[in-house]
Amino acid sequence: MSDRAPIIGPILAGWSARPRPPREPMGGRFVRLEPLDPARHGPAIHEANLWNTDGSMWAYLPYGPFATLNDWSAWAAPMARSEDPLFFAIVDRATGLATGVAAYLAIMPEHGSIEVGHIAYSPALQRTPAATEAMFLLMRTAFELGYRRYEWKCDALNAPSRVAAARLGLSFEGVFRQHRVVKGHNRDSAWLAAVDTEWPALRAAFERWLDPANFDADGRQRVRLSDLTAPILVPRG
Domain at 122, CATH number: 3.40.630.30
Check pLDDT > 70 for residue 1.
Answer: no
Helix (H) or strand (E) holding 108: strand 98-108
Q: Which domain holds residue 84?
A: 26-232
Residue 5's pLDDT band (cuts 50, 70, 90): confident
51-58 long-range contacts, Cβ below 8 Å, gap at least 24? 51/122, 51/123, 51/124, 52/122, 52/123, 57/120, 57/121, 57/122, 57/123, 57/126, 58/120
User: Is residue 189 assigned to a domain?
Assistant: yes
User: Is residue 221 assigned to a domain?
Assistant: yes
Residue 237's pLDDT band (cuts 50, 70, 90): low
Contact 169, 116 (CB under 8 A): no
pTM of the prediction?
0.96
User: Is residue 15 assigned to a domain?
Assistant: no
User: Is residue 170 assigned to a domain?
Assistant: yes
User: Is residue 18 assigned to a domain?
Assistant: no
Alpha helices (H) in 7-98, listed in sequence order: 38-49, 69-81
Q: Could you give the number of structural domains in the chain? A: 1
Strand pairing class (113-121; 149-155): parallel
**9-21, pLDDT tens digit by residue?**
999 999 999 999 9
